[in-house]
Amino acid sequence: MIAGRRIVLGVSGSIAAFKGVALASQLVKAGASVDVVMTPSARRFIAPLSFRAITGRPVLTELWDEESSDAIGHVALGRAADLIVIAPATAATIARLAHGMADDALGATVLASSAPLLIAPAMEPHMWAAAATVENVTILRRRGAIVMEPGEGRLASGQIGRGRLPEPEEIVDAIAREFEREQDLMGRHVVVTAGGTREAIDPVRFIGNRSSGKMGVAVAEQARRRGARVTLIHGPLQVALPAGVEAVAVESTREMEEAIHSAVRTASALVMAAAPADFRPSAIAGQKIKRRASVTLDLVPNPDILARLADWRGIKVGFAAETDDVIENARAKVTAKRVDLIVANDVSEEGSGFGTDTNRVTFVFPDGRVESRPLQTKSAVADDILDLIVGLLALKEVVQPSST
């Protein structure tokens, strides 16, 4: 997969820069053509010659050294790249990339490129946890960059914590996975739902839930990155809409159901990450309900959207937001909703479920199989779900070659 690919390796100024040499060497051995771009501070840690010796190619260190005989311009490099990997990426480099700074060779190369961007951070634990870095990483992930989680352990400073550069082997694996996923949903239409729905009580109040929309938005983003045409049907979101998707805003569960029915006509897959309200008031008060000793709401059930799509032939993925007996309840939902996959998340677990950037999920299949995943970013969970959808779509084509 890596063989024959053109990879730009960006190296920024960290004590871990020497691992960039090991990474370059592994990529070259795997058959890639590797162009290295160094930030000015990277050169304080390692000489460009080390990279040149390994890759056999000139190293770009300055934005303005393009007149020199063998230097390749940042624009040409960015455009020709099949993938850009930045390892190590310091907090400063991550900040510069998040803000589109193009005043050094690495920033300019990234900005000139539309290739997938893989970032392998390395920094002190408190810098990785700093609010500014967290926001910068979120910006880059929202734009489609893959930001790896740094490793945990003892750092060069003697501090112990999260901030170690992932090992070169892990970075090579992530690059290989990225090439495998590249455009594997091209030509597919994927419908994704995100966020909670709201059921009006009166003109100012509603029944809602804690869904931020992050999980569904991550699925929509990754599906778009992998080449799908994406329709994102969403309730109110606490995150920005991803670029390049067809967004349909809805408020109530019944509105969501209507939008889904019209969108799935041309779709190959539906991923229901939304948390639609299961109940709604039997009547909406025409005027604001005045304060009084007690108010009783009569609730009626909303339609079960997934269950009512039983006859639709695309791949159906549901989520299960559980607080207890996670697997048992998810198994019951696979059967009741007749889906191809339930993604169960324990929403009472820290770092999982509503509003978080991470999720720990378990895949529950109709044949009873169960696969647990570690705590990961919602983008990584989204990619795991899409990997399964790609597999299920391929299987369906083998079973029903031209009738679907």
- Active-site positions read 209
d(CA 174, CA 120): 10
Query: What are 313-316's contacts with CB under 8 Å, separation 24+?
Result: 313/404, 314/264, 314/267, 314/268, 314/269, 314/270, 315/268, 315/269, 315/270, 315/340, 315/341, 315/389, 315/392, 315/393, 315/396, 316/269, 316/270, 316/272, 316/340, 316/341
**Least distance from ligand PMT to the Cβ atom of residue 244, Å:** 20
141 binds ligand PMT (CB under 6 A): no
Interface residue with ligand PMT among 38, 273, 380, 390 (CB under 6 A) is 273
| Identity of the residue, 13 or 195, whose beta carbon is nearer to ligand PMT in the bound complex | 195
**Least distance from ligand PMT to the Cβ atom of residue 379, Å:** 11
**Are 200 and 281 spatial neighbours (Cβ–Cβ below 8 Å)?**
yes
Q: How far is residue 97 from each of residues 7, 101, 114, measured CA to CA in Å?
A: 18, 6, 13
The values of phi and psi at residue 12, to 5°, are -115, 175
The values of phi and psi at residue 301, to 5°, are -70, 145
| Identity of the residue, 109 or 358, whose beta carbon is nearer to ligand PMT in the bound complex | 358
d(CA 307, CA 313): 13
Q: What is the CA radius of gyration of the chain?
A: 24
355 binds ligand PMT (CB under 6 A): yes
| Residue with the two structure tokens 């998340």 | 345
**Least distance from ligand PMT to the Cβ atom of residue 63, Å:** 39
- In terms of Cα–Cα distance, which of 248, 249, 242, 239 is closest to 213? 239
**Least distance from ligand PMT to the Cβ atom of residue 200, Å:** 16
Grouping H, G, I as helix, E, B as strand and the rest as coil, residue 37 is strand
Residues in the chain: 404
d(CA 214, CA 240): 9
377 binds ligand PMT (CB under 6 A): no
- Whether a cis peptide bond, with omega within 30° of 0, leads into 88 is yes
213 binds ligand PMT (CB under 6 A): yes
User: Interface with ligand PMT by CB under 6 A: which range of 5-13, 37-45, 60-68, 316-324?
Assistant: 316-324
Interface residue with ligand PMT among 253, 362, 377, 379 (CB under 6 A) is 253
Window 163 to 202, contacts with ligand PMT (CB under 6 A): 195
263 binds ligand PMT (CB under 6 A): no
326 binds ligand PMT (CB under 6 A): no
User: Interface with ligand PMT by CB under 6 A: which range of 12-20, 155-163, 176-184, 208-216?
Assistant: 208-216
- x/- mask, ligand PMT, residues 286-315, rule CB under 6 A, reads ----------------x-xxx---------
Interface residue with ligand PMT among 230, 232, 248, 321 (CB under 6 A) is 321
147 binds ligand PMT (CB under 6 A): no
Interface residue with ligand PMT among 51, 128, 319, 363 (CB under 6 A) is 319
Q: Which residues bind ligand PMT (CB under 6 A)?
A: 195, 211-215, 253, 272-276, 278, 302, 304-306, 318-321, 333, 337, 345, 347, 353-355
